Structure 1
Amino acid sequence: MKRIPMLLQLALILFCVMAIPLSILTWYSGAQILRNSELEIAESALAGLNANRKLNENALNNLAQDAVRLSSTHIYDRIRNFETYAELGENYGNMSSALTVLNELVNLNHRVDGVYSTYFYLEGANYVISTDKGITTLDRYEPIDWIEQALIGRIGIGGIWVPRELSSGTNVISYVLPLNRLSTTTRGMIVVNLRESQIESYLRSSEPGEHGFVLMRRDGTIISHDDKGLLLTNGRELPFVGEILDQGIKQGYAFHEQNDKRLLYAWSFSERYRWWNVSMSSMDELMSQTRAMQRSILLLTVVIFFVGTLLSVLLATWLSKPVRRLVHSVRARGNLGISGRNELAFLDAAFRRMQEEEEGLHLLLRQRERDTRSLAIHNLLKGEVPEQAVSMFPEPHCLIAIVSIDQYRNYVRQANSETRSYHRYLFNAQCEGLFPEGIHAYSVYQGEGYFAMVINYGEEEAGRNGEGIHAALAAVRTMADHIFGHTVTIGVSSPSALNGSIPDRAAEAMEMIKYRMIEGSRGIIFWREATEHSSRKYVYPSLSERRILNFLNAADSDSIYKELGVIRQEILSAEYISYDNIMYIYNQLLSVTIKHLRENNINTERIFTGRGNMYSAIASLDTLDELEEYMRGFFGEIIQYLTRNQGEAGHGERIVRYLEQHYCEEIVFENMAKEIGISYSYMRRIVYELTGKSLIDYINQLRIEKAKQLLLETPLTIAQIASEVGYYNVQSFNRFFRKYEGMAPSSYRSAKTNTS
């Protein structure tokens, strides 16, 4: 074709524009009609169903494997000796072990999409560790009595999948995995609740049109369905589904008439989970698309034939002369070594060769220049003075400026890695052009939101005290605001010559960035010489600390906020204060407050749930304003919690007084709650928060204390004492006495009598 004249090629184009589209459309029409035939549609539906089934099975298998791997670790051994929630709360070590288990469960949640919650239940314990409600007692969590029934008939040591509805109304598929006796001596089980909607996302067809699906257990119980009202019902009652299950064929398809509609049913049986997967599609809708496609193809063929013919004629008459004239001009101006080709091939080869040569040259030059310059600057910041740096920075004076993105963590959350990479390239490319003539500046990225800029200037700029540099840095700051969508703070070092002291100047600039804490962000901070006060340490505001704790006891938020303002003003008025000193003040204030709350038996976990690591949070803040705002929120949450729980104190006193008066009697807790005027569940929560014990533990402790007194002060028998303190048989009395005192009542009496 390259040797055929252009006019002959245009004639061929006329034929091709008409013939080729007609051939393609004919082939396309036949292929689409075949694809949309009934058998082809059925095979495609079955293949799609199997693909969705395998996707669902792989997702469930991955989740089960993650749970099995977690069960094979020894992390649960840390808490196997803690059978009660009270034992967990006895000290920080116990609770830390439980929190470690909780963190592993949270990590398990994040490995697979759609997990609603995960919890671990230690056999015989009165609590669970869950990702939705944290570490809580069984009576405050959803019922788990269904697990024993679900494990009946389990084969092997693996887990089982159980469809159910949570007490919150959420439909889930629960994976129940008892801990393996071969890998750990801890008895318990892991339960992972996967949302039914996640199963639906795997099974729902992505093809256009009307579709339906149903996932059933072997007995016909519906696990997942697009009609949520049918979940956990008998799927055999659905139209035609019962017939499919009775056939016993593990996979296939069939056509079924229903309500004047022709439906395609495809089914597949999962050998791994013993589940039935069934999909339903409307054949009428699929065939209507085929008929509409045929009409569209015919119309498109006519349009293409007409437009192709017209365009071919226009190309033959319009392009002929201009192209020949252009070819003649190119051949006359330069010998490109291209001969024996027609006009179009000649121009194509000539322009391609010129373009490739030009692009290659420019790319090589840009890449070489950029790499050489960046390497020279990095070496200069390390203390080396490469030859390239001498040509890049010909003037005698140098400054190092560090540009830091304010609130860098927020910036990282808002921009993905590709966007951040583009921002860095754009910043380095543009900031160099903001400096006036005679000042040479180059920038490189140092990581963690920091850019290092080497600024080289001469005697003229030095004589003007760096006015041009100051103005350029202000322009850099404005430009950075626009690029990053965040403000920046710039730290500037002291002047230096282009020598090995450059790393020291960079350290000075980094030190100036820390002044952002006092002076605020979006500033340009120049190096300041150390003063005689630099070695002094700021005295910690202990008086403010005591006042804040007193105001906290009184729930006086306004006074606390004023005292926080006093601390801030003291910091600002200090002649010198370091960044580390400021961090120490606020870290200490956090620690003292939390210690004060715990000493007053206030549940800090309930107050600060969801806040994360508070010490890391304040370390990431840039200014005093942000620190004060964070502390206001911190104390605001505490006061809000204390205010909300004041009403519970009065009920607590009535409950304790009632139990102390009636502990020797048989107490019906529901009737007791009605007499006090609150619900039974609310009463249990108040007792636990007030005493740290459950209702049962508290009343048993009262009885045992009275029994100890009677053992030492009266000659009553063990049976008489048991009846006197409210136990109706000696066995129960002995069991509870051993639980709380570690010995039998008779041994306790003997030991105390011999001692006295």
Structure 2
Amino acid sequence: MKNTKQWILNKISKINIKNIPFMVELYIVIFLVLAIPLVATTYIGTSVLINYYQDEMGKFANDSLSALKKNSELVLDNYETGIIKLTKSEYIYNIKNSTSYDKLRSSMSNSKEAMDVLDLLEDYAYSDPMIQSIYIYIEGADYAITTNYGIVPLDECRDKGIVEEFQKSSSSKLTRWEPRKIPTSQNTKDAMGYNNQVLSYVYQLNSLTTSARGTVVLNINEDRFHKLVNSSEFDKSSELLIMDQGGVVVSHENSENFMDNIKAAPSIQLILGREEQSGYVILENIMYSYSKDAKNDWIYICKHDNKLLMEKIYSTRNSNAFINLIIMVIAVLVFTILTRRISRPLNKLIQNVKNKEGMELDNSRNEWYLLEEAFRQITTQEEQLKAVVKSSESGIKKQYLTEVLKGNYESTYNGIDPTVFPYDNFVVIILAFDQKEEFISRYTSEQRYYFRALLLSKGEQMTVDNGVIQGVIFENKTIALIVNMKSFDCSMTPMNLKKQLREIQNEMLKVTDNSFSVGMGGCHHGLEGITKSLLEAQEALERKIVIGRKSIIIWNSGMEESGSYYYPYQSERHIMNYMSSNNPERVADEIRSLIADIRSRRDISASNIYQIFNQLVGTTMRYLVETHSNINEIFGDMNHIYRKMAALDTLEEMEKFILNLYEKIFSYLEKNQTDETNHINRIISYIRENYKSDINFEEMSEKIGISYSYARKIMKEATNTSLIDYLNKFRIEESKNLIRQTNKAFSEIAVSVGYNNVQSFTRYFKKFEGITPSEYKEKKDNQ
């Protein structure tokens, strides 16, 4: 590949530069032919562009103005619809006959009805910050109900002129929006930020909405209406106003222009003189786009100042024409010189490159591109070759380390440097991210791979005296580091490694929220010692459940499995007893006590701890099954519980998980007990309502929504009697009342309480009372 690059460079160095005869004259002619048309087309094109821009700008402005008008109409229509809905309220109907302010104050019911109307108006007004006030005036009444003054006599209402004005106005005017200035005591904004400039809409109460008669006035703040309408359609250099057909300003961003008559302005006269509903006019480089609203007789006008833009266009046109001429002169001269000097040898060089094997070039492109593409392909091929070689070496090395960790010492891999492990002493370190399930759910597979690769890289960068560190991503996505040393200091070497590992833990927390824990095995001799140290590192890492997350655990002989197994049978019995007595507090205390006991046993293995809680959960499940509890309703998939427990890192997490498990159980039992009580009450009610007829208990259970066997079970537990005995006891109690209070025959009484014959009645009476019905009657008669 280097020979190919050198070959191209040699070809370039051999290029001979020669003079070109008479080429300059040819390019001067070409320049003159092109320059004059270029300048002419520049000026003509600019004029066309200006006309096109003005036309497109006018169309865009009209489209924006139409959208703005529709938005405005939609806002006003929503308010009109809201007022109509408001008048349909029964509260307004209730006050239609309340015309006297004095009677209104003296009558509690009338006052309440008026206050209901005021609340109705205030709820609607306060729901929209643009609404400044709402008035309602009942025909013939001497008071008005307003959101800003409350319920006041008409002569005390500061804005009473609006009522009098619209009473005198024609009905056609009552359905239009009108700009207005509300009378105020001072020319300032109120506490809500409102001024006295409003758009008023008056609605005459009619039979379509209510039988009440009167007028509703809605005032919206003109300033806020203008800001809402002009919120996004135009830039800051544009100026929007709304006026009526008479030239009176309805809305303007400058409040001082509100209700001014601008009909005499030249631009306004041009717009008023046009019959088109929308369009634009240009006056002294200022564009006025307009759109007429037939419903309210309004005209929306937007003013766009194009003066600066036109000046810039003309200035740019002149500058471009001059620059184009200069560039053309320079380009022709440069092109003349360079073309003659390099065209022939360059073409020959390109042809040689095209004929070179391994090159894939686009013959339709120019020579410079072909030359650049040739160098790019050569560089890419070199980089790919280097990457393949490096990846192959790395992959073989990682596979070799994995096999050695698994104990396959006899495996041979071509290309492995025999000095990869130059020494005879080995220590294996296992690094694993904490909170495995949270780590998986929090990050994508690509992110998790990046974090593991980063952790592996940092681990391999650790230093050890007279030693090397090799690493690989091992089983269960853990990081395995093999520390190969010439000598091992039992006290200093582990401490040095621990210090560096602690620094890596802090560095990793800057890029990921998950910490990692470390298990470090003992030092062993020879390749066989790698597997021994690996097992010790894994055993040390399991101690994380007792020590906690972000721990660095160095293996010692005290961690070896003792062979003894511990299980807290007494704690298990206590927990089961507390569950039977429905005592969740004592269960929680017992679990905390169990956790403390386990933590105090420093020699207990991690596998023993998991076995304890697996067995405790299993015993709890058996108890729930024996008490007819629905385990699937409480937990769902039981395998999910065991998987969650296996993924817990620490005793603190295990304690929280187990406590939450029992909270779910007690919550279910409490709910189930409540449901059971409700079912018993429904059974008893059903029996008492239907005891006079034959009761089919299976049909009864189906109506209640439970099984027949469950109905028998809960009835027995609640009353200590069966369903049939409860029914017969109730029938006998009812028959006793009939015997005492009436002179009916026993056969008639038997039928009235649900027995088909007097023999059955007598048998059950004697069963529950110990005497016959006649003996009972005789006994009561003698008392």
Structure 1 length-normalised TM: 0.44
* Higher alpha-carbon Rg: 2
